[in-house]
Structure 1
């Protein structure tokens, strides 16, 4: 097996890391999937990644039909709109790699195209959007982690390794992908959300016992849910417990969204934990408060409280 026709859906902070790497790969047909104004903008303006202009090929979902590999790198709240495009692109041999945050994007995609098409995966990249520029440090980025659910190496995981070789992307295969995905989820919940509510850099977790206590409360609830689901995060690689290296003033994706007055992925973080907690009979007060607080901050950004 070889991935010769590769497409990516999502050209934001995560997708730009993949575009940066795969644009270096010779002998593959690589393109971004987009429609309407988004397609026109990509074709006209390209992408500024680490202060270099990239002009990837842009295809509609219909043009991309039958691709060997679909990489999904959209925000969680954009996934419902992307699912019909994934369905349009996928045929009987297509493999789908979801690099989204959270623990349920594969389930959502599988409901539309079948679980047999999906190789579970995650990505760790500390990207920052500065106006029309995407900035990240390739050397300190931990990159893409992927693996089959049953832990076996297959033709598909071998093909992914061949695809990523020589691209500058950091990657590794794992035989415990679900614990790896949940460990990344744990990092995101603990590191993204408290700083987003406070509007401060990540150094607050070391410099304030109070911020650390909020993080620990959120993570404690997540750990209880993971345990009830039979997810043993201790099986994950030691690197699963840390993110890509950043400075104390760094602002992770949830706070970046609030700074830019965009809606966040809180439904994927605390929203999902609240839902799973209710299904399992596990209380999630820290996550419930955080969910409502960040939703209220979104409403504030939307002008809901502008009473002048």
Structure 2
């Protein structure tokens, strides 16, 4: 098996890392999936990444049908609306890699196109938007971790992806504990991403406040209980992952970036998913329930729901 064509669905912060890494690969076709005005914009302006403009091909889902390798790097909220596009792209031998946050995007995609197409993966990249492009540090980026969920772990398609990434600037590794790796990043997002977003401060808050650490620890305990109940031993990933990327105390992770920009967040993928799994397993999730409702309320605030003019009917305190 040799990967000769790669399509990227979602050319944002995560997709930009893939486009940057694979653009210099000489023996493949690289394209971005887009339609309508977005397709026109990408064809005209390309993708600006680390102050360089890249021009991958732009394909409609139908034009990309049967591509060897489809990388899905959407925001979680966009996935339901993109399932028809994913179906249109997927041919008999298409391998799909989801680089979305959370722990259930592969399951959602598999329900639509079949689990046999999915090669599980997780990405660790601190990419953010600046002006009209995306910026990340290639040297400190941990990159893409991927693998089969069951033996043989050195499958033909794992070898094909290793060959694809070889000789690029991408950082990557194959693993035989990919589910644990995915849950390890999920834990990081839930415990470090969410409390910071409510407080509106840099990640140094976890080091400098016992109160923020207590909230983070509470979220972590609920997640670990659910993972254990599902048979996920995250310690396997802890052994292989080593230390994460160094970030300054001022760093603002994706959920806070979304709130800063007035966007809706991926809280449904984080605490929302844990609340659902907790109910299915009979495990209480009070920290996640509070966090979920607080971030939903902050989204409502960004939407203008609480922009009172002073002329509204008075409320009666009790």
Alpha-carbon separation, structure 2, partners of 1:87 and 1:60: 12
Distance 1:189 1:50, change over 3 A: same
Deviation at 1:48, TM superposition (A): 1.4
Q: Match for residue 24 of structure 2?
A: 24
Query: What are the within-5 Å matches in structure 2 for residues 113-192 of structure 1?
Result: 113-151=113-151, 152-192=153-193
- 1:98 equivalent to 2:126? Answer no
Partner of 2:313: none
Computed over aligned residues only, the root mean square deviation of the Cα atoms, in angstroms, reads 1.0
Aligned residue pair count: 308
**Which deviations, in whole Å up to 9, do the C-alpha atoms of 1:86-130 show, x marking residues without a partner?**
100111110000000000000000000000000000000001112
Instruction: Write the distance in 1 (CA, Å) between the matches of 2:217 and 2:267.
Output: 17
- 1:41-85 CA-to-partner distances (Å, cap 9, x unmatched) read 211221211111112111000000010000000000000111111
TM-score, normalising length from structure 1?
A: 0.98
Q: Which moved more, 1:140-149 or 1:130-139?
A: 130-139
1:110 alignment partner in structure 2 = 110
- Identify the range of structure 1 (48-57 vs 71-80) with the bigger mean alpha-carbon deviation: 48-57
Where in structure 2 are there 5+ consecutive unaligned residues? 310-318
Using the TM superposition, name which of 3-12 and 233-242 deviates more.
233-242
User: Corresponding residue for 1:280?
Assistant: 281
Q: Of the two, which has the highest radius of gyration?
A: 2
Q: Which residue of 2 aligns with 1:84?
A: 84
2:303 & 2:244 partners in 1: Cα distance? Answer: 31
Please say if 1:246 is aligned against 2:233: no
Which is worse superposed, 143-152 or 273-282? 143-152
TM-superposed deviation, 1:180? 0.7
State the 1:237 CA deviation.
Answer: 4.7
Residue 213 in structure 1 maps to residue 227 in structure 2: no
Rounded to whole Å, the distance in 1 between the matches of 2:110 and 2:61 is 18
Report if the CA contact (8 A) 1:187-1:243 is conserved. Answer: no
Structure 2: how far apart are the matches of 1:232 and 1:101?
A: 19
Between 70-79 and 33-42, report the one with greater CA deviation.
Answer: 33-42
Alpha-carbon distance between aligned partners in 2 of 1:234 and 1:143, rounded to the nearest angstrom: 20
More divergent stretch after superposition (273-282 vs 32-41)? 32-41
2:183 and 2:266 mapped to 1: Cα distance? 16
The alignment partner of 1:6 has SS state of strand
Match of 1:10 in 2: 10
2:257 alignment counterpart: 256
1:241 is displaced (CA, Å) by 6.3
TM-score by length of 2: 0.95
